[in-house]
């Protein structure tokens, strides 16, 4: 019974194991876009684009670390010594630090203001 349902695939479910998924390319995206534009009243423009007029450009810097390193300590004495060496507060509860020390600003310190 399941085999018959899988063969029919009326709802175009993802490929069964052993089959390849259809490749999504710029050409298939264009075809989808053309098909959607045939529907009366269908707007291809995203809703956010209507509101995003005359907004300043925003470029996100890459804030990812170049390297993440796990350091293991045999005892608390070694942890305290490391804390002094990097000149940062490091305790048993510390999960990560930036080196050199990064300035951290709490998101709650930011306030939205209306320019009007």
pLDDT in tens, 43-60: 556 677 777 788 888 888
Predicted pLDDT of residue 25: 73
Measured distance CA(90)–CA(80) in Å, rounded: 7
pLDDT at 5 over 50: no
Residue 15 has pLDDT above 80, yes or no: no
**Domain chopping of the chain, boundaries:** 67-116
Residue, of 32 and 112, whose pLDDT is higher: 112
Residue 37 has pLDDT above 70, yes or no: no
Give kind and range of the element (H or E) at residue 8.
helix 2-8
d(CA 83, CA 89): 6
């Amino acid at each position: 019974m399941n085999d018959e349902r899988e063969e029919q695939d009326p709802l175009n479910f993802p490929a069964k194991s052993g089959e390849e998924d259809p490749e999504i390319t710029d050409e298939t995206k264009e075809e989808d876009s053309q098909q959607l534009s045939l529907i009366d009243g269908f707007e291809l423009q995203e809703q956010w684009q209507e509101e995003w007029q005359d907004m300043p450009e925003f470029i996100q810097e890459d804030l990812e670390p170049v390297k993440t390193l796990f350091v293991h300590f045999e005892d608390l004495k070694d942890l305290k010594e490391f804390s002094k060496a990097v000149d940062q507060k490091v305790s048993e509860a510390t999960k990560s630090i930036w080196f050199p020390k990064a300035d951290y600003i709490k998101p709650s310190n930011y306030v939205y203001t209306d320019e009007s």
